[in-house]
Chains A and B, each alone.
Chain A
Amino acid sequence: MAKVLMKGNEAIGAAAIKAGCKYFFGYPITPQNELPEFMSRELPKVDGCFVQAESEVAAINMVYGAAGAGVRVMTSSSSPGIALKQEGISYIAGAELPCVIVNIVRGGPGLGGIQPAQSDYYQATRGGGNGDYRHVVYAPATIQETVDLVMESFDVADQYRIPVMVIGDGMIGQMMEPVEFNEPKRRELPSKEWATDGTKGEREPNIINSLFIDPEELEVHVNERLEKKHAIITEKEVRFESYNVEDADVVCVAYGTTSRIVKNAIAKCEEEGLKVGLIRPITLWPFPDKAFEAITDKTKGILTVEMSTGQMIDDVKIAMNGRKPVYFHGRTGGMIPNPDDIVAEIKKIVGGEK
């Protein structure tokens, strides 16, 4: 297919429809409004259904119902709205249902701001709702990657019966870049014989449920079903981009749009003869621990760059396990890191000032 110029938010919607998603439940919040607007316009054309819910809480619970009924379904919001959705996400994870949730992150805490931020990393990767659960988190850096990952998200969700979150920021949502809608590589997916679509008198009733009042049963549910599944996903679904890590004096770690700014900083360093590598996690959960194995003794330090006060840095430290010092550079509140400031930080590490 030919390339088209699309705004990130609309490209996400187009990718979801392309992946067979016909149902969307949402609530307005900046900077993701173009996505529900797009779905309200396009879903009726494919015999699908868009509902503007009364709240984010209701929207995610509509997703819970629709996912249980066995269809591909999606919701989107931005940080404060995603906080409201956490209850439903926990239930969906607990009941082992597939769905795709998009978070176009804005600065917080509270109402915060509307400019790009990465301050929802903990919320996304630690299980923002109650209980022992995880869900897959993709963090694309370009509109093309966003489109590709949204399409794949539906397959991953169906394969593992797990919610998948695609996390971007206002830049991803508002920016226009050329995209190509390639036919996604289809996975072999299990049939949804668990779905609540009516017994038709032909089978025993299906029950969608996350309540296990007997503690022995709940432990089995958490350990044998959820945790085993998490282990398989961690084994098979980790994604990252790695650049010049083996030979680097400093290895930067950044995800999403921030990684693009770091790439500019790395190019500036290279002009001055500095060797700087990059690890860009594409899955925030599961976190690409194995990417860090390539870091050699030559490397002086790791620089994590985020649009937050430092959240992913915890995972970087876990992955490094004390092998090298891990430093941080970040901006918050919707302020965006500047390549020159990153270069200065890198130089401090190379020069032993840090």
Chain B
Amino acid sequence: MALVFDRTKGLTDKIFHYCPGCTHGIIHRLVGEVLEELDVLGDTIGVAPVGCSVFAYDYFNCDMHEAAHGRAPAVATGIKRVRPDNVVFTYQGDGDLASIGTAEIVHAAHRGEKITTIFVNNAIYGMTGGQMAPTTLIGQKATTSPYGRTKEHSGMPLKVSEMLSTIDGAVFVERVSVHNAANIRKAKKAIKKAFEVQLKGEGFGIVEVLSTCPTNWGMTPVEGLKWLEENMLPYYPLGNFRTPQEVE
């Protein structure tokens, strides 16, 4: 029988701790596949965040470095400056990157650090139990916005890709989603491009991946995918914000 699908060598055999229906698993697989296809697993050092993907260091089959909440881009900067020939990536959620770690991500981009950031945006704090994130949508209920987020109280949700694409050093910026097969394929392409940008030494690259959190959204996995499509896509438009010409 012909082998039509195999587990990527980019991931370890460790069983994910993620909730049923969570799309972290898909995004992990995409990153693992890209690293394997680019044949850089032996050169790669990943930086794990604090948040749901805090245990990412157990899942990626390459050297991994834990970071404090929000500090992954700074840790990655330290690694890349010391090991410029290695591939360095951060894997961060929206609480980590868009809230406590805004200074670190903005300045890693501003310095044009030759690292790749996978930014998983599910519009909520997952690990700590469903609190409001800077990316939580208007009207969306969270444990710290029990009446629904309002603009007056908490401002409008932060559009990270749009913000970072104003920074010269961020040479690759793309927002993708993983709510259906077609978008998963597009997401993988974007992730691959982001790593290629790093391999060519172009500058900082980030892929924002819209993701679901059925548990904290209080939905079934299928409802979650539908909610993402109907609510997140209109506010967080998919697409490429920046690509260096050489990679296009």
Contacts and interface: CB of A to CB of B under 8 A. Distances in A.
Interface of A: 23, 25, 49, 51, 53-55, 57-59, 61-71, 73, 87-88, 91, 95, 196-202, 205-211
Chain B at the A interface: mostly helix, strand, loop or mixed? helix
Given A53-B107, A70-B82, A198-B42, 5 more contacts: A64-B75, A197-B63, A201-B41, A206-B64, A209-B66
Given A55-B103, A88-B68, A198-B42, A62 B63 contact: no
Contacts of A95: 66
Contacts of A205: 12, 60-64
Interface string B52-79: 0011011011111111100100111111
Scoring A51, A196, A197, A210 by chain B CB atoms within 10 A of each residue's CB, the highest score goes to A196
Nearest to A211: B66
Contact of A198 (B45, B104, B106): B45
Given A51-B111, A58-B71, A198-B43, A207 B66 contact: yes
Nearest to A49: B81
B8 interface: no
Contacts of A23: 78, 81-82
Nearest to A62: B78
A288 to B, nearest CB: 33
Contacts of A65: 47, 65, 67, 74-80, 82
Contacts, number: 137
B81 A64 contact: no
Interface residues of B, number: 38
B82 A49 contact: yes
A350 B54 CA distance: 61
B86 interface: yes
A197 to B, nearest CB: 6
B83 A197 contact: yes
A201 B82 CA distance: 20
B82 A66 contact: yes
A63 B54 CA distance: 20
Interface string B74-112: 111111111100100000000000000001101100110
B127 to A, nearest CB: 11
B77 A199 contact: no
A59 B64 CA distance: 20
Contacts of B80: 65
B68 A61 contact: yes
A140 to B, nearest CB: 27
A69 B63 CA distance: 10
Contacts of B68: 61, 64, 87-88, 91
A200 B155 CA distance: 46
Scoring B75, B106, B110 by chain A CB atoms within 10 A of each residue's CB, the highest score goes to B75
Contacts of A63: 78
Contacts of B76: 65
Contacts of B86: 197-198
B14 to A, nearest CB: 11
Contacts of B81: 23, 49, 51, 62, 66
Contacts of A64: 65, 67-68, 71, 74-75, 78
B56 to A, nearest CB: 10
B44 interface: yes
The 4 closest A-B pairs by CB, nearest first: A65-B78, A61-B74, A62-B78, A54-B107
Contacts of B79: 65-66, 68-69, 196
Scoring B12, B61, B67, B79 by chain A CB atoms within 10 A of each residue's CB, the highest score goes to B79
Contacts of B62: 198-199, 205
Given A23-B81, A69-B82, A196 B75 contact: no
